[in-house]
Amino acid sequence: MKRKYIAGFCFALIFGTFGVNAEEKPQTDPTGEKEIEWIRQSLITGREIELEFDRDVKYTEDPKTYEVVVNGDAIEEVSVISYFDNMVTLRLPKEIEDPEHAVIEVSVTDESVRDEEDNYMDTEKTYEVSYQLYYTKEYTSKCGIKIKACDLVEDNTLKYTADVVDIMASKRPEVAEALVSAGADIALYPKEQNIYYIPEHREFYDPEAMTIEGFGGTLEIPTTSLAAANIERDREYAQYPDANVLAHEFGHAFHLIGIKLADPELFDEIQKTYDQVVEEGLWQNTYLISSVEEYFGQLSACWFEGLDESSDGSFNGVLAPVNTREELKEYDKASYELLQKIYPDDVYFGSPWSKEEAKDHFDIEGNERE
């Protein structure tokens, strides 16, 4: 379970695509009524269709169950990427041309989708898909990274995210340029939803990992997704109100996209420094040392005073007493000097993730501060 702490990136990297849970299709005719309906059919991106059922159902994972017709042409190779919250998401093999004006229809080809009473859907009924994109607003940072969200996320949260990105990228503008060239962006989801509502990350749905608040961008999926509640440091809704998930997850994108493309030598230096730290036995019994990716993600949060601290000052299997820039300098000089080459050392984030608001109850030895 420790790998589910904060960083979705590592979880997805190790365990692969989650998607829908495979269920064998029923082999018998339904015994219930022909009463299951879709109550909303939406094109949420240029190639993803979200279908909301009027109840919880099962046997949704077979793509052959669904027929999608776009402008009169049946679409082949439709895939099912997730089912949760009574919604199944279909992915088309390519983007629809002029999606706002396309005529899209969906239907089921068999009676396999059932509810608990063995009710089923009408195979003769066709539903029209409406153009309702998931992302309805965006804000572009000064360095060119786009922040996007649905209407439920406050405008100020997008702007704050952009300000943080600009600070993180201010020392290495060439890294920001590489990120923009690779199509990197940041997606925010509201407190009313979970991370799997983000279209780019729906395929990672896992009901046992619902506390994840971020996925870091990679070359394969350059979108970094984040909980707006964490950025706002909303203690009622954020899972990790003392851990800056934005710094951590965008740190992954900075590392695995920007630095990798813009400065391969620095990318290699990160690996070498991590190997050195492992050899020296630092950060033992923490999430930070579990991989080079999490090493950089956690250090990014630490550099900007956003790394959570263990509750008792110990190295407790996940966290440590070392969680600020000054403590990093004292405890792990090599990592401090590495991060000093990458991030500015004379600036911090504004509230609610300012230096003054950082949690720091213990020194690096685990002694409680007076």
CATH class entry, domain 45-131: mainly beta
For strands 34-36 and 120-121, give the pairing.
parallel
pLDDT along the chain (370 residues), means of 10: 39 41 81 97 98 97 97 97 97 97 97 97 98 98 98 98 98 98 98 97 94 96 98 97 98 98 98 98 98 98 98 97 98 98 97 97 95
Rounded to whole angstroms, the Cα distance separating 260 from 179 reads 10
What's the CA gap between 138 and 149, in Å, rounded? 6
Question: Residue 6: its pLDDT value, please?
Answer: 40
Give this prediction's pTM: 0.93
pLDDT of the residue at 9:
42
Predicted local confidence at residue 16, as pLDDT: 41
Closest CA to 25 of 60, 75, 49: 60
Give CA–CA dist 193/172, Å, rounded: 34
Nearest CA among 186, 184, 271, 272 for reference residue 222: 184
Give Cα 124 distance to the centre of its chain.
38
User: Where do the structural domains in the chain lie, given as residue ranges?
Assistant: 2-11+137-357, 45-131
2-11+137-357 and 45-131 in the same fold: no
Q: What is the pLDDT of residue 24?
A: 79
Kindly indicate whether the domain formed by 2-11+137-357 is annotated with CATH number 3.40.390: yes
